[in-house]
Amino acid sequence: MLAYRHAFHAGNHADVLKHLVLTQVLRYMVSKDKPLRYIDTHAGAGSYLLKGKDAQKKAEYREGIGRLWSRPDLPPALADYVQLVQSFNLQPDENGVVPELEKGMTPPLALYPGSPSIASMLLRKTDTMRLYELHPSDVRTLATHFGHERRTNIIGGDGFAGLKAELPPSPRRAVVLMDPSYETVGDYGKVVAAMRDAVTRFAEGVYIVWYPQVSRVEAVQLPKRLMALAPKGWLHVSLTANKADGHGFGLMGSGMFVINPPYTLHNTLATEMPVLLEALAQFDEASYRIEEQPA
């Protein structure tokens, strides 16, 4: 089917939470001397033009990265994430044009990096990336950005099925991001099945699953089903930024479920989430939650 296009949502509150956590996990993993493999099972296009017509349709980024863009008072992990997005905006765009930057100013917010670009900025030469994506035009965009890199493989195929063949990786250190569109309700079951298989094949892996907070029983149950796969050694963080629309639909927030998280992640998020909540809240009952079951 593949009607979902991430360009409509790039940089929204859910991307902010997702990429904040991804940045922190990867920073920790690359602080160790050994090579790392990053596997993105649903990579998207890797880069999004925020002035493009898709991103402008609802301009969701304005209630996400847009609210953090020029804030000088962010705590360290949020400041780090925003700085990564700012440096991405200093790269030449698809037409080779470098955005103008006045001295001492933040660059204009024109581009938003997808998860492969965030990872690419953090990984070292000795690390490798495996990017799975089904949509042909996103695969082409990934190829434009990463096709020349020896450390990166782009696979135009199903990331749920592809993950089986990736595990265990060599070398045996990997971060897996599973970030489906949940366009069909079957994705919830596929996430649980893929994660069950993954922790059986490679128990030491660091697995990050994004899920939406929407009015759907499968979405509400997903974190509990993931907890059952990893009784010890998980962290769950969620942010409810918005209320449902008048019909009970819409993306209210999102969650990240991390299996084998860095031991530093809980304390980092405990500092950052109150600030993120204050910045991204769109209604009075907005809230966040952090739960952890250490290994």
Q: Are 40 and 206 in contact (CB under 8 A)?
A: no
Q: Which is nearer to ligand SAM, 2 or 270 (CB)?
A: 2
Residue from 158, 218, 291, 292 binding ligand SAM (CB under 6 A):
158
Task: Please state the separation of Cα 94 from the chain's center in Å.
Answer: 22
Question: Does 236 contact ligand SAM by CB under 6 A?
Answer: no
Q: How many CA atoms lie within 13 A of 87 on its CB side?
A: 10
Question: Does 193 contact ligand SAM by CB under 6 A?
Answer: no
Question: Does 130 contact ligand SAM by CB under 6 A?
Answer: no
Task: Please identify, among the stretches 56-64, 103-111, 175-183, 211-219, the one whose residues bind ligand SAM according to the rule CB under 6 A.
Answer: 175-183
Name the catalytic one among 15, 127, 179, 187: 179
Residue 44 in marked binding region: no
Catalytic site includes residue 179: yes
Which residue(s) pair with 113 in the sheet? Answer: 47
Residue 157 in marked binding region: no
Residue 158 in marked binding region: yes
Provide the 10 A C-beta neighbour count for residue 143: 16
Select from 63, 86, 84, 82 the least CA-distant residue to 253. 63
Residue from 134, 237, 256, 281 binding ligand SAM (CB under 6 A):
134
**Rounded Cα–Cα distance for residues 235 and 262 (Å):** 9
Residue tagged 């996990």 (tokens): 25
Question: Does 4 contact ligand SAM by CB under 6 A?
Answer: yes
Q: Which is nearer to ligand SAM, 166 or 179 (CB)?
A: 179
Residue from 24, 26, 39, 42 binding ligand SAM (CB under 6 A):
42
What's the min distance (Å) between Cβ of 2 and ligand SAM?
A: 5
Residue 115 in marked binding region: yes
Q: Which is nearer to ligand SAM, 63 or 179 (CB)?
A: 179
Beta strands at 37-40 and 174-178: parallel, antiparallel or unpaired: parallel
Question: Does 145 contact ligand SAM by CB under 6 A?
Answer: no
What's the min distance (Å) between Cβ of 217 and ligand SAM?
A: 21
Residue from 63, 127, 138, 166 binding ligand SAM (CB under 6 A):
138
Task: Please identify, among the stretches 91-99, 130-138, 139-147, 243-251, the one whose residues bind ligand SAM according to the rule CB under 6 A.
Answer: 130-138
Q: Which residues, in sequence order, are CB contacts of 122 under 8 Å at separation 6+?
A: 23, 26, 27, 30, 84
Question: Does 67 contact ligand SAM by CB under 6 A?
Answer: no
Q: Are 158 and 132 in contact (CB under 8 A)?
A: yes
Residue from 133, 199, 238, 273 binding ligand SAM (CB under 6 A):
133
Tokens of 247: 């019909």
**Rounded Cα–Cα distance for residues 275 and 243 (Å):** 19
Q: DSSP states of 201-226 as a string?
A: H-TT-EEEEEEEE-S-HHHHHHHHHH
Question: Does 18 contact ligand SAM by CB under 6 A?
Answer: yes
DSSP 8-state code for residue 284: T
Q: Are 35 and 128 in contact (CB under 8 A)?
A: yes
Q: Which is nearer to ligand SAM, 115 or 268 (CB)?
A: 115
**Rounded Cα–Cα distance for residues 134 and 190 (Å):** 15
DSSP 8-state code for residue 247: T
What's the min distance (Å) between Cβ of 138 and ligand SAM?
A: 5
Contacts to ligand SAM by CB under 6 A: 2, 4, 6, 18, 42-44, 114-115, 132-135, 138, 158-160, 179-181
Return the active site residues. Answer: 179
